[in-house]
Structure 1
Amino acid sequence: MTDTSLAPLTPEAITALFTRADGQYLFARWGRPIVPVVFGVEDGTVSILKGAIEAVVALAGHKMAETDPELGANLMVFFLRDWDELTETPNLDRLIPDLAPLVARLQQADANQYRAFRFDQTGAIKAAFVFLRMDDALSQAPAETIALSQIVQTILLWSDTAFLGTSPLAILQPGGPAILKPAIADLIRAAYDPVLPAQATDPAHALRLAARLPRPQ
């Protein structure tokens, strides 16, 4: 996919960001306040992650809460050293169906991250589960970059191919902190326009998103 960090996203580019590998257009945003919980890291990293979540939620014009009345916490982030830890986590198989086959697939693919979503009756996101296996690549990334990347990829249901070969983040200076690409930030804001539906399967939805992006000066 073409890098669009410095240019407005075209309707075609937006369509691609929400068109899955099987050709289906599928968009969804959160329909309830986000309540995060983080497992497997020290308190300092938890605060970094929650700070990134708060920043992106504020960008979207969405809300956070102290508890979800149905689930308690609805955004769960797990930091792992090995995928086997998932099958050893009590009751996780109740949240993630077919957990053992999933772990086998992740191991075979040598994956370092996986995200799963749950949806309410309207199709809006009601819960998300983020799993990060801290391999060499992730271990070398700053905690702030990991946190921002994960919440950006969780604030919307992007295509499963949306950020292959590119990133929603940009680094302006070598060694400097990563920032959210302006075009992606504008798209997130547009996606949470209350006039738009929380879930969409018609590619024409991308045109409605494009119409809400800032126009070039």
Structure 2
Amino acid sequence: METGMTPAEIETLFDRGDAGYVFARWGRPLAPVVFGVQEQTLGVIKGAFEAIVALAGHNMAEVDPELGSNVMVFFLRDWDELLAVPDLAHMLGDLPDLVARLNGGDASQYRTFRFDDGGAIRAAFVFLRMRGALAEMAAEDLALSQAVQVMLLWSDQAFAEVSPLAVAHGQTILRPEIAGVIRAAYDPVMPAAARDASHALRLSARLAAGEGAQ
């Protein structure tokens, strides 16, 4: 199956407008925790993270030695619920302003990241307001989509028009070209962070090398 992407196509996945090209991957194992779901859903979400982390050739951990949990996923019915979460304002800063912006924009999801001194991802916060289309998604599909979007610092427009998922033979799968980018991004020869678009050329080359090895 052809999974290659041109450097220009890859560049758009990490182009943050005025900020230019901004790439980052995790520099430590992922230690996720999930709030606001039933027990049976926890296994689905954990399984999705395990699958994407394995795809990347990266690692998961029960506990992050510095932060305890470094991926926090919150399922909500209303953004105002965030105001009642203990210590969240300490982690996110001006929480009332954030909640006001999310309500004003009628947002369905929000992600924010923290980085180490080298620019690699050290923590991620994911907030999902379970209404509309998001609430109608199958749990497996929603979990897989969120795991993909946490694995790299994608552009905020990377999946605005085309989902990272696709349907093949009646089953939802990760789009092969996106899977290829994740694998290439976690190749040990690649940097954990990059701010130059020439990085997209290197990713494209790793993709081509991976296809040639299949």
* Alignment partners' CA distance in 2, 1:177 and 1:98: 41
Note the 1:1-217 alignment, pairs <5 A.
7-22=3-18, 24-173=20-169, 176-213=170-207, 214-215=210-211
Higher helix share: 2
Q: Secondary structure at the match of 1:202?
A: coil
For residues 115-154 of structure 1, the C-alpha deviation after alignment (integer angstroms, 9 at most, x for no partner) is: 0100000000000000000002111110000000001001
Aligned residues: 211
Q: Which moved more, 1:95-104 or 1:35-44?
A: 95-104
**Structure 2 letter corresponding to 1:146:** L
**Amino acid in structure 2 at the alignment position of 1:85:** E
Contact 1:21–1:160, Cα closer than 8 Å, also in 2: no
Distance in 2 separating the partners of 1:167 and 1:107: 23
Give how far 1:7 is off: 4.8
Q: Supply the RMSD in Å over aligned alpha carbons.
A: 1.5
3-state SS in 2 of match to 1:153: helix
SS at match of 1:22: helix
User: Displaced runs of 4+ in structure 1, greater than 3 A?
Assistant: 214-217
Instruction: State how far apart, in whole Å, the 1-side matches of 2:172 and 2:134 are.
Output: 14
1:177: Cα distance to partner?
Answer: 3.4
Displacement of 1:23 in angstroms is 5.0
TM-score (norm 1): 0.94
1:79-138 CA distance string (max 9 Å, x none): 000000001111110111111111111101111100010000000000000000000211
Gaps of 5+ in 1: none
C-alpha displacement of 1:215: 4.0
**Whole-angstrom CA distance in 1 between matches of 2:38 and 2:150:** 22
Distance in structure 1 (CA, Å) of the matches to 2:145 and 2:106: 19
**Hey, what's the Cα distance between the residues in 2 that align with 1:100 and 1:61?**
38
